Structure 1
Amino acid sequence: MSKGKVWLIGAGPSDPGLFTLKGKLVLEQADVVVYDQLVGDGILKMIPKSAEKIDVGKKAGNHKVPQEEINEILLREALNGKKVVRLKGGDPFLFGRGGEELELLCENKIPFEIVPGITSAISVPAYAGIPVTHRDYSPSLHIITAHRKRGSEETVDYKKLVALGDVTLVFLMGVGALNEISQGLIEAGMNKRTPAAILEKGTSSAQRRVVADIETLPKEAEKYNIGTPGIIVVGKVCTLAEKFHWAEDRELGGARIVVTRPKKRSSKLMEKLYNLGAEIIELPAIETVSVQSDTLNEMIQKINNFNWLVFTSAVSVEILFDYLKSIRMDIRNLVNIKWAAVGPATKDAIESRGILVDYIPEEYNGEALAKGLISILNKDDNILVFTPEGAAPPCVKALRQEGFNCDSMAVYKTEYEENEEIKLRVQDIVAFTSASTVKGFVRTMKNIDFKTVTAVCIGEQTAEEARKHEMKVAVSEKASIESLTEKITEIYNIMKHREKN
């Protein structure tokens, strides 16, 4: 068996938007991913389902798996011919022990690559509004680890750091050593009033900052119960945080939203929420799978017998056109047929194929679709409705009850995704776009009290499913991604206001 290869990839501080393009590209092709606890949830969700995941739980002062064993894991998997990704928080070579992990690989002639990551030493202060250098405040940046090798008696040389003058000092892995850092710098001659900051969970929705001076910072950090992961910044640049803070000022700054849409269909919602400052957790609760049968083929062969094609979802549009392409049927064969869509997303899916929609209801649901069609159809019209597998949707029943010749064709089915359970916080918001996504979420989250879940839903049918589990439910004004985003923003602002008061 030929040898595999190892990639040491820096995952950055937490925000998946700070993960490099190369890192994402390599990660998506991995056979095995060995990762630390400091890797953000959004990045972990990028790991392909086909990859084996090995959690080595490595963070400052707490190693679930000893470093020597991690080195052996990388070697073993590479010798088995695997593409191995070692996914590390921040940058693999900045106090990440990446060099140690390479030594054993080099001894065994295992090929490797390094994919640098954005270090928390720069990105976390930036998200807190602290530029680590500034011509008027600090000419240089010095990054120090406060965490020493186990058994080492070596200590930080505070006198040399203080002798550097008005510079920026960034201490990584130093939250537990804050008192020692403060005392060490003061005893080495640093002015007690030197500005300093401690920054917790930087670039995530839970990020917090405490700015004080080097003498009082330990007490202030204790007062606000600042924990790990965190970094300490010392220098005049810390005073700029009050002027330059920005991350929490965004409309959804500080929000964490769980998106349950199918992975292939979640990008638009995720993009809108992310651009407003939210941290996104992907939990695709369902997957839509096309259903092809002899009946579908028969129906398509006589498609010109129909006056109207009606679509109850965007996915049914995509499946139809993919099928037409697979059987080499030209869309010019669909002349003189009218097209109806249940809502804007479905309408966009049709019109992106170069066909203008003839009817869309004012309210985006099956009942409104049927009611609107009944008012404009001719009694001798033949209608074909594309549906999901299962019971006929309300619009089909309503059209048939009015005496219209209405056929329905199931073109896809919904399957529930197998997901790892996530730790849901009380302040999190879960976005649901269908009753199926609610059911899939409930199947995954087996160990929580659903009464604590804040659910923002598209449509009353989705909301009703969420209410069955006693979730706290809000419903978007319209059945669209734009309206759902607006409702999420509204609910988050209400929650934030309550928290302040």
Structure 2
Amino acid sequence: MSAQKEIYLLSPTPRTDTISLPMIQFSTVADSIDFDSCDTLMFTSKQAVVTADNVDKKWKNYPCIAIGAATKKQIEALGGEVIYHPDSYYGETLSQDIIRHFSQRKILYLRPREVSFDSKAFLKKAGIDLQEQIIYETGCISYSSKEKPVQNAIIIFTSPSTIHCFMKNFDWDESYTAVVIGRATKVHLPEDANYVVAEEPLISSCIEKAKSL
């Protein structure tokens, strides 16, 4: 029986059975939130919810569209109400769901500076004017070459940003296996990377997949 390979987790929060190698750090870029012309909020990340709560507690007065299980859990943990929670977040599918269920609502998307899909442009084609406010941004953490993962490592990527920041720090080693949290993340990997996709878009599912390799 072969020895268990080292598993590196690149998200900010450490988890047992993995080596923590966080790639991104968050900075708040808003000092207020403009709720004036919205009746519903949309969040696509746990960090967006935490940031909104730090900036203005009044976000809890608005029903929320939550993208991803971790986002839904964070909204509810901080006292917010989730009125819609799609099974998965792939930009075009999500936008079609919003068109179908929420065409009459005035949605404010509280978002990071960089997003992998331009929901605003897609929804505009359907006549929905999605309002957006950038409330935080992500930056890469820097590492020395000595901190590069060992050969044959399994590396868990939880977002396109974690791949981008990893490649800024290290060259890809052909012995690595990537575990990615979903399809939107997969497309950012190096072309020659060996990879598998987690069964569900959850960090816990990524870890289980990594352990099974």
Same fold (TM over 0.5): yes
Distance 2:73 2:112 in 1: 19
**5+ long unaligned stretches in structure 2:** none
Q: Which has the larger radius of gyration?
A: 1
The alignment partner of 1:467 has SS state of: coil
Cα deviation 1:443-489 (Å, max 9, x = unaligned): 1114xx53222111111222111134x22111112211232123212
Match of 1:472 among 169, 174, 194: 194
- Name 1:256's counterpart in structure 2: 6
In structure 1, the residue matched to 2:77 is: 352
Query: What do you get for the CA RMSD once the two structures are aligned?
Result: 2.4
Distance 1:404 1:431 in 2: 36
Q: Which residue of 1 aligns with 2:139?
A: 415
Match of 2:100, SS state, is helix
How many residues align structurally?
Answer: 212
Indicate if the aligned counterparts of 2:90 and 2:184 stay in contact, CA closer than 8 A.
no
How far apart are residue 254 of structure 1 and its match? 2.7
Q: Which residue of 2 aligns with 1:290?
A: 28
Structure 1 residues 343 and 423, CA, compared in 2 at 3 Å: closer, same or farther?
Answer: closer
Tell me if structure 1 keeps the 8 A contact 2:64–2:83: yes
Contact 2:120 2:129 in 1 (8 A): no
> What residue in structure 1 maps to residue 183 of structure 2?
460
Deviations 1:181-229 (A, max 9, x none): xxxxxxxxxxxxxxxxxxxxxxxxxxxxxxxxxxxxxxxxxxxxxxxxx
- 2:83 is paired with a residue whose SS is coil
Question: By how many angstroms is 1:330 displaced?
Answer: 8.3
Structure-2 separation of matches of 1:396 and 1:351: 25
Partner deviation per Cα, 1:141-187 (whole Å, 9 max, x = no partner): xxxxxxxxxxxxxxxxxxxxxxxxxxxxxxxxxxxxxxxxxxxxxxx
Higher helix share: 1
Identity %: 26
Q: 1:313 aligns with which of 41, 45, 61?
A: 45
User: Is the alpha carbon distance of 1:372 and 1:256 closer, same or farther for their aligned partners in structure 2, counting shifts above 3 Å?
Assistant: same
Residue identity matched to 2:8: V
Give TM-score scaled by structure 2 length. Answer: 0.88
TM-score (norm 1): 0.40
Identify if the C-alpha distance between structure 1 residues 458 and 341 changes in structure 2 by more than 3 Å, giving closer, same or farther: same
**1:383 correspondence with 2:126:** no
Q: Secondary structure at the match of 1:369?
A: helix
Match of 2:208 in 1: 486
Q: What is the correspondence of 1:82-231 to structure 2 with a 5 Å cutoff?
A: none
Q: Deviations over 1:25-57 (max 9, x none)?
A: xxxxxxxxxxxxxxxxxxxxxxxxxxxxxxxxx
The structure whose RCO (Cα within 8 Å, separation 6+) is larger is: 2
Gaps of 5+ in 1: 1-247, 275-279, 493-501
What is the CA–CA distance in structure 1 between the aligned matches of 2:96 and 2:204, rounded to whole Å? 24
